[in-house]
Amino acid sequence: MDRKRCCVKLSVQPSRGLVDEKFIVLVQKVPPGLQLTVHALHQCEDGHHWEAFAHYTANAAGTVNVAEDPSEGGTYSGVEQMGLLWSLRPVPGSQPGLRLRRRNVQTPMEVTISVYHGHQTGGFVGHIPLASVLVERWYMAPGVRRTSFKERGLNAALFLPPGPGPFPGILDLWGGGGNIVEYRAALLASRGFASLALDYLTLKTLQKTGKMESLEYFEAAYKVLQQHPEISSSRIAVLGLSLGTSVTLKLDAYSKIVKPRCAVCISGSHVQPVDGSVADIFAYCDKNASNIRFSEENQMISRDLLLPVPTDPALKVDVGQLQCPLLLVVGEDDQNWPAYESAMDIKQMMEQAGNNHLLTILSYPNTGHLIEPPYTPHTRASLFTSFPTREKSMVLWGGETVSHSRAQEDSWRKVLAFFRENLHGGRSPVAPLSSHL
């Protein structure tokens, strides 16, 4: 096709938006029946390139609407409005074990959307696109405020929504990788929830005291939310993922200080030495190290470390003591934690205790461990630095890309609805889900 005779129009609306918002990719002014490839390219903060692409055929009007038209091949197929994001993968030749995560949430994730002539499958760098558009994807909405928090011995980042407040608060606890992970807290603040992203596996504390953080550390973080002038002290939740689930359930069941309005636990378990600390969870797993398996690709499968679910009450949180609504988000193909088996045992324990009316379980088939905000690329396996040894291993997280991506989108909206119901009394938060930058 003569590019001079084809003034292709490519648009992405909105071109600036939050990462959990959909966009519409529209190609116009091409010959009817023309075969095209729509391509997405992102360079992450560590310099690696990620790409996704899909094959389309222009309709009789000479247009392709990615939100409505089926992809005929590429990194996804069928009608997938956001497939150009959730099917992103490292470009050929990249080092193995990469995972796409945003560190600096105060700048956008930039994605170049391009359209190419023909059904291309690779070598995009050597081809000249017919048109390109730069798209910005943000975790922080305009007006969201970020503050580093180093007081009271804590290492955290606080995100406050726009406006005067008071806002409901969320204590955001990630898993066993350590360091502060900010992007979920930033996105929650963009949706109207003041969020404190807490690092509880920091090496500095371990090196200084020789031990990991105690329950009092998490209680101090909870008090930060309670005592903040722009946060409603009676409307606070705890959100945990992976190891963060272990901490969340223990706080909710046993702490005399942490009394959340509700709790959300993603991809985790209640199995742990009840009288122990975070360090004792690692020690318990180490005792069962012989249960670790490896896939055919030599990827570590650690879900059996906590299986079978023990019957000894000293080895699992007494969820029968929970007094607040609990939402469990579970991937049925989680290869890292026995999240599904744990959820079923939690359900049984709460039924026996008579508080199962507080429990909601979202269980997703063919979904792995890393259940992230919508349109985050699915990572089935990646290189992971375990704590506290800092050893790197190729870890199998599990999941099938399409099902996992569906689960991320569905669960995020239900998590937000759960927080709205329990922290806002059903009223909408400051930032509706459809808001654009």
Is 242 tagged catalytic? Answer: yes
- Catalytic-labelled residue, pool 242, 269, 342, 403: 242
**CA dihedral sign, ordered 337, 342, 331, 294:** positive
- The residues, ordered by sequence, that sit 6+ positions from 417 with a Cβ below 8 Å of its Cβ are none
Q: Which of 69, 199, 252, 334 is the catalytic position?
A: 334
CA 67 to chain centroid, in Å, comes to 23
The angle at the Cα of 414, spanning 412 to 417, to the nearest 5 degrees, equals: 110
Here the tokens at position 371 are: 């259940």
Question: 42, 270, 369, 404: which is the annotated catalytic residue?
Answer: 369
* 228 carries an active-site annotation: no
Q: How far apart are CA 317 and CA 246, in angstroms?
A: 8
The contacts of residue 395 (CB under 8 Å, 6+ apart) are: 299, 300, 302, 336, 381, 382, 383, 384
Asked if residues 113 and 10 have their Cβ atoms less than 8 Å apart, the reply is yes
Residue 39 falls in the annotated catalytic set: no
**Residues recognised as catalytic:** 242, 334, 369
